[in-house]
Amino acid sequence: MTAPDGGSLAARVRDAAAIVRGDRDRDTAYPPRLGIVCAVFATLILATQVPGLIDAFGRPNVNGYGGVDYRLYMDATQRWLAGGPFYHPYQLAGPYTISAGDILYPPVALWLFVPFTVLPAALWWLVPLGLTAWAVWRLRPGPLAWPLIALCFAWPPTQVKLITGNPVMWSVVALALGCLAYWPSVFVLIKPSLLPFALFGVTRRSWWIALGLLLLLGLPFGAMWLDWLTTVVNSRGGGIAYSIQEIPMLLLPLVAWRWRSVR
């Protein structure tokens, strides 16, 4: 069967399937109309977020949420550096329901937290956001990825995590860089509940070398690992289910990788 303009209908179907699968050849241009439609959808998705963001940022300290997670972990890190506990005593004493203010990251994350007790606070956001944007740009995601990336960004918990300065931003950048070089994905494990995403690149030798490095970085913390395990066992309402709301945030670089132009 031949299409009205002389092209093979079967070939067009194959091309459409290749676009959806993400295995379009990097040198083969996407249909211009597809790019226009996807760009319009992505723009509309992002535009719907503008009024809410303007309202939030117009309130004192972004309605009270600005940087709260960043300050939480910086305070805990400074307390630990001064000789105090990293985890709250109630987290070690017995069962507790996870709520705002709990310290949930493993001790190895202190390699990330400690430098930021002296670095400018702005870098806590600029570094992961900048590196994630750079990685996505390097992947050159095709038009089909644009509205999906916009949806991942527009997902309300994503914006909350960014505004509060939640350390999960660093898991996202680890995965984004992993989409380029595989081994950085290991460092998604600074948040262990995101383990499935850390497995990106697990078949590569470099990934296992990076895992070995992460294990070595954890050795100096010794008994603190027992404290962390105690806080995990004592917690209620955590686990993988606790991180479900963060899945779209982690999917953002994976979407760019799946429909990438760079192979």
Tens digit of pLDDT for each residue in 105-128? 999 999 999 999 999 999 999 999
Model pTM score:
0.84
Q: Are 128 and 116 in contact (CB under 8 A)?
A: no
Read off the amino acid at residue 78.
Answer: Q
d(CA 94, CA 3): 70
Tens digit of pLDDT for each residue in 122-135? 999 999 999 999 99
Q: Are 98 and 104 in contact (CB under 8 A)?
A: yes
Q: Which residue has the higher pLDDT, 27 or 92?
A: 92
227-251: b (≥16 Cβ within 10 Å) or e:
bbeebeebbeebeeeebeebbbbbb
Q: Are 56 and 163 in contact (CB under 8 A)?
A: yes
pLDDT, residue 17, reads 47
Domain segments of the chain: what residues? 24-258
